[in-house]
Amino acid sequence: MSTSLFHGLLVLDKPAGMTSRAAVDRALDWFPRGTRIGHTGTLDPLATGVLVLTVGVATRLAEYVQRMEKIYRTTIRLGATSDSDDAEGTITPAPAAELPDRQAVDRVIQQFVGEIDQVPPAFSAVSVTGQRAYRLARRGKELALPARKVRIHTIEVLAYDYPRLELEVRCGKGTYIRALARDIGQRLACGGYVEALRRMRVGPFTIEQAIPLEADAGTAATCSLPLCTAVVGMPRLALTKTEADQLCKGRKLPLAGLKLPVETSDQNIEAAIHDSDGQFVAIAAVDFKRELLRPTKVLAKKALA
């Protein structure tokens, strides 16, 4: 496998007890020295499951994977709190808490479906005055992190036998399941934290596609996914060979005569550009106001060979 030839995405099944960075470092052993590799969304050490890696030119597409919706399965432990909002923190029991019944659980959970304001956990990678929140929290700093808008599409109760509550959560970018567990526990007036967490899906990337860290270079090569997988769901625009070549050289193209993915729009959209051979070659902004197609990311030719 050559550095100049391996470009794509890979789905790992991250084990518990390992940081996402450590998982990437292990995966580096599968590729030639100098191969660029990264991940598209951190999983806590306690968490397991889908960790999407970008290899080679695919590292330039990481932001598009990060925007995709995610599905998690989690076990929340009610009746106690944690300073890290998960089982790895300092646990404080709430012995006087009332035992919530299933009806109360269902009612509270539905309050978190939709667009909500969520305060990230103190032990998180959120930036605070140029430093990561978790570093400040480890030094005992009191943090008052601002709430952020996040979207939770659905929450399904898989099982409930107090103090354990098992959920499946489908959510958008930036949602902290630890914060969700904490907030559900607060609303139920009994406290709660994440006891177990598994990411099942990121966009089209599923746990069934994932390979373990015990895999080898051959498995990694066989299971790699093409660059276009990173832009699944993005409007697709097919160009002629001449048009695609011009765009990939940085030139803007007039929209007139192009078969646009949408008829019109009040806002610019991004489109995945494919050439006449069906090859994914670039991402471009469709500027309806100026009636131009403007390249925003051009993929290196070596990645398309």
Question: Which active-site residues does the annotation give?
Answer: 44
Cβ atoms of 50 and 198 within 8 Å: the answer is no
Residues near 132 by beta carbon (within 8 Å), at least 6 away in sequence: 124, 125, 126
Q: Which two tokens stand for residue 113?
A: 């479906």
Q: Which of 283, 279, 285 is nearest to 303 (CA)?
A: 279
**Alpha-carbon span 140 to 214, nearest angstrom:** 37
- CA 160-162-165 angle, to 5 degrees, is 40
**Alpha-carbon span 125 to 136, nearest angstrom:** 10
